[in-house]
Structure 1
């Protein structure tokens, strides 16, 4: 214990010496190591209750507290990892997430056996939980080897949701690099031979790519070709294990076929076909934009795991209609009536909108109508450098799920952005209303993390120590300024005072990592939210205006955020409009049919329904 305390003190001193710098607008998000649990306080104070509750999105052990809702690190220890031989073990449980159900655990087991995987399923099946579990398990496996498990997503928002980095950031590309040839002088392969990117590619053990539906064919193809050139290995992605996760029935790639894969020249579109002006490669049609159309996809020889158990909704009729919407199947009159004419209890529901401008305007319009004092919370952004590193991380913190500035009044509807207490139903996406403000000193200072709970995970311990320091700093500032924290009554009847949460992102390609963090009250105003930002959330009350949808998959993503049919209000379409809106790309339909009939990995025979908690 003395040695542990000494090491902890040294780490805290190390963090204190680092002169954190505030991050303004930058370009991308690096690899995540950890985030903190959110601080909260029960309506009936109990000084033996924890100040810190486990939260997602990043699956590392939470800060140690006097007592913790749910299993603690001390009770459960560090989750065991399967061997490459796939020996039998207990289902993995990530703190802050529900335990994995058998089909989710099956995906983890296949990954640990070294297979390339395509993991798919409807909204609400727990893909986000599986991504976090995969990252935690595989990272622990490779930690002692100096190999890295990278967590990627195609957009800044999607990468922040999982605490990862964008595909471009991992590859070391800027938008201008899309205009460069694949090989030869001034090419992306030549650029990748530079020390920094070369080392990253060489040390990669696993790539986990989330939201694969938004990754364009030629981006998938180019990344694989660059990696096998740099790694001198003709296997896809240079022999790196590839795990892709997502649903091709949801959001598609944005602006596909911008530049030629081979020469970098701008592609020309004529009669729904994109071609290279210099004649390189094939002509592409819109149906070719998906990653599964890439030649490298076929070479990856993915095992497909379909997650079929829906955890977000429990109404069988609602689930069946959502599945029809997802797959573009015919909606009969009964289906249309179910969506359009049911009794909706969606008063004060969150309106899901297509653009950020629409969301900002709606939230501002409603906020100014509420009388009373404004309580403003500014995020504390910090960067702590390790190993003498001084470069700014490529990150867009303005896309972080936690707002840079949060304004609240009594009667402000809010959405919870962290898993605060799963046993009480206070999870990511839970909606509520601010009912008051209490002195910030009702929130206790957390205990520092215990090295014993991290075993060989030194990086996780450093991240937790960084997280601890940031939360304590936020609290002490609040105490000094006599700030007030919001008390929220949630839709399920629970009341809780919500204190700060800290998301810590590790970046760099070798331990010890540098850290970027944002500390903020994990709430956002709840009148409106973009559909893109709602991904991974489960909402109690949702209003969806179908007249404003402009992409395949948008409407399904919006509808499937609702936990129940009674909490969903659909406007902007009649029965015939519904049938026009819920169309699925022909290429996606054919692909989904092919994996259903040929390539799907058998689910575990003992699969049982998971609990009713929302998991995504």
Structure 2
């Protein structure tokens, strides 16, 4: 990451902890650059969202509304439970692919958070809770919220606020009910890259801090030049408060040019919504027109950047050349591509990928004698004429002034007065509060320890699994006890043993690990902690396979009643999904615990496999799933060297087949082989988890490994 202490601190909080982060900073402090670097360097599975189409395209993400399929309009907290017509707009079900993405997210990034309303953030939280952890805000996903509250504010209509003000103190994101239930840190970027003049930076800082005095106004208004008309050789752009003002200026200026007008129609492939068009679908230009590039140059030459201004010097069908101030050579402009993407899960790697839904191809230009202050956010100009006398919302004047590199490079169309420096008291109070609690390295260290402890204890927490078994046992008892008494009894037995041998033991084991982690100076590499984790993995894998995996392999009762069948299938899928997560994450910790490996295993296991597993389960519906003549196996491994050989072989086989390791051979089977050292197929069949198919497929390999171990070991 960039060598900047605040940027480095933010990256380390996101990389090594589960802490929610609000990343803020003055205009020009590198927030957008940080996001682009984070996307390429972070190992966490990330989704990037933004409140508007253009902001989403610029951030390399998608809009909040499109990702969560949210309707426009106010969202009343808790309305999902009321069964009203309004709540139905938020009650749609996602497709399996979207659910998989939501369940496997590690980090949710929302750019331009200053424009996100509190009710929209609560809607996001409710959607995440629906498909993840219902008991934690945002479903337990880590958040990165990027934006500057001193810049553009959320849009809320008067009639919408009439409804929402009963629930929120202000429309800003920090008043979200869900966010207020979380803990999060604020990191402010302080190094300004856009401006280099200390006096101008000081003026902008006073506007941010609502400390505009007579000196500040006098200094700013020294740039008021009545009737100012820039020379044609200069690249001044006018920043206006309203879109109609900018459009009128651009239309008039283009009309005044006597040369022939040429039209360039965008090529739109597949799905690219009009609200996300980065420039005109039909671009009309003339020789001499002032234009602004609306995209960074994708070619190796990097001749232009988003916001660079120049003049059209040559134009014709399929041909545009632009000369920018200070450049010696014209830029021959080619069409650029913008991607409308959606997030999906790669079926092979199980990683979150960006899938292109549509492409917009157009010359990366727009007429630029004027643009709105709103659309100038994130851009930098050498020269600008500012028309801010009609400023109507918080932060508008600051955004306009901070687009310029220098005070000398801006001209005011009308003098500024203190009443156009609109500030919101809610923002001032929030900014003051977070400013008093800036995190540092001690907080980072403690957050890292908490995060590690949270994930390690989560690995051995079987509460959710047990609750799903409780629900399933109740459903079996209510609907299947007479038809399938053996299966119902087996389900109850598994439920009870899951509590005594997994949940209760897991709670004690978690407490032991917490104490070890708290006492350790280097908990990630502490050999005692790693040894305890590895022993725990062996124990819990064995119990999971003996009780839960074995039960799921036979639990597929045939049920005539459609509603009951649907309910029980849903409960079985939920149990299967939780079992998958537990087995995958335990498998990832067999050689020791690593945060990165754990997160990857957890995310991949969360991707739906429930229905596929259900189809492959045994058709047997009345048996217990365990043969009565199977040998009882001690949980202690008598031949650890052989166990390592078998485990390594199982991993290689699982990787080759792209299956979880336990689907190649269960943990109980590995332990059984190590303890019994079977000499033939008959002895091998006595081991739990070993059937005829396993003997046929892997018997020769197993005996070969046993022989290798025997001949290599002195007995």
Please tell me whether residue 107 in structure 1 is matched to residue 10 in structure 2.
yes
- Counterpart among 109, 125, 129 of residue 29 in structure 2: 125
Shift of 1:602: 6.2
Question: For 1:283-303, what per-residue CA distance to the aligned partner results, in whole angstroms no more than 9, with x for missing partners?
Answer: x44xx2211122322333222
SS in 2 for 1:561: coil
Q: Which residue of the partner structure matches residue 330 of structure 1?
A: 212
Please tell me whether residue 161 in structure 1 is matched to residue 79 in structure 2.
no
Q: Which residue of the partner structure matches residue 412 of structure 1?
A: 289
Tell me the distance in 2 between the aligned counterparts of 1:305 and 1:493: 41
Q: Would you say the 8 A contact 1:304–1:601 is kept in 2?
A: no
Q: Which residue of the partner structure matches residue 374 of structure 1?
A: 261
Tell me the distance in 2 between the aligned counterparts of 1:170 and 1:556: 31
Q: Would you say the 8 A contact 2:393–2:422 is kept in 1?
A: no
Q: Would you say the 8 A contact 2:53–2:275 is kept in 1?
A: no
Equivalence map 1:22-33=2 (5 Å): none
For normalisation by structure 1, the TM-score amounts to 0.63
Tell which deviates more after alignment, 125-134 or 158-167: 158-167
Q: Would you say the 8 A contact 1:535–1:561 is kept in 2?
A: yes
- Counterpart among 138, 142, 156 of residue 241 in structure 1: 142
Equivalence map 1:193-208=2 (5 Å): 195=96, 197-208=98-109
SS in 2 for 1:300: coil
Tell me the distance in 1 between the aligned counterparts of 2:176 and 2:248: 40
Shift of 1:247: 0.8
SS in 2 for 1:406: strand
Q: Which residue of the partner structure matches residue 279 of structure 2?
A: 402
Shift of 1:484: 1.8
Tell me the distance in 2 between the aligned counterparts of 1:268 and 1:492: 53
Tell me the distance in 1 between the aligned counterparts of 2:430 and 2:288: 47
Q: Label 1:323 to 1:560 Cα distance change in 2 as closer, same or farther (>3 A).
A: same
Q: Label 1:603 to 1:550 Cα distance change in 2 as closer, same or farther (>3 A).
A: farther
Tell me the distance in 2 between the aligned counterparts of 1:220 and 1:125: 25
Shift of 1:195: 4.1
- Which blocks of at least 5 consecutive residues in structure 1 are unaligned? 1-90, 92-98, 143-147, 260-266, 276-281, 384-392, 439-481, 606-616
Q: Which residue of the partner structure matches residue 170 of structure 1?
A: 67
Q: Would you say the 8 A contact 2:385–2:410 is kept in 1?
A: yes
Q: Which residue of the partner structure matches residue 179 of structure 2?
A: 297
Tell me the distance in 2 between the aligned counterparts of 1:503 and 1:228: 32
Q: Would you say the 8 A contact 2:100–2:345 is kept in 1?
A: no
Equivalence map 1:262-341=2 (5 Å): 268=162, 274-275=165-166, 282=167, 284-285=168-169, 288-333=170-215, 335-341=216-222
Please tell me whether residue 546 in structure 1 is matched to residue 423 in structure 2.
no
Shift of 1:593: 1.3
Question: For 1:500-539, what per-residue CA distance to the aligned partner results, in whole angstroms no more than 9, with x for missing partners?
Answer: 2212232242337243111222121111112221111111
Q: Would you say the 8 A contact 1:340–1:571 is kept in 2?
A: no
Please tell me whether residue 116 in structure 1 is matched to residue 17 in structure 2.
no
Q: Which residue of the partner structure matches residue 452 of structure 2?
A: none
Q: Between Structure 1 and Structure 2, whose CA radius of gyration is higher?
A: 2
Number of aligned residues: 425
Tell me the distance in 2 between the aligned counterparts of 1:483 and 1:189: 46
Q: Which residue of the partner structure matches residue 601 of structure 2?
A: none
Shift of 1:101: 4.1
Tell me the distance in 2 between the aligned counterparts of 1:194 and 1:496: 46
Tell me the distance in 1 between the aligned counterparts of 2:441 and 2:419: 34
The structure carrying a bigger helix percent of its residues is 2
Q: Higher RCO, 1 or 2 (CA under 8 Å, sep at least 6)?
A: 1
- Counterpart among 153, 157, 175 of residue 252 in structure 1: 153
Q: Which residue of the partner structure matches residue 459 of structure 1?
A: none
Shift of 1:244: 0.1
Q: Would you say the 8 A contact 1:352–1:558 is kept in 2?
A: yes
Shift of 1:165: 1.7
The structure carrying a bigger strand percent of its residues is 1
- Which blocks of at least 5 consecutive residues in structure 2 are unaligned? 347-352, 445-715
Q: Label 1:483 to 1:197 Cα distance change in 2 as closer, same or farther (>3 A).
A: closer
SS in 2 for 1:339: helix
Q: Label 1:183 to 1:604 Cα distance change in 2 as closer, same or farther (>3 A).
A: closer
Tell me the distance in 2 between the aligned counterparts of 1:100 and 1:419: 23
Shift of 1:197: 4.8
Q: Label 1:502 to 1:514 Cα distance change in 2 as closer, same or farther (>3 A).
A: closer
Equivalence map 1:338-357=2 (5 Å): 338-342=219-223, 347=231, 349-357=236-244
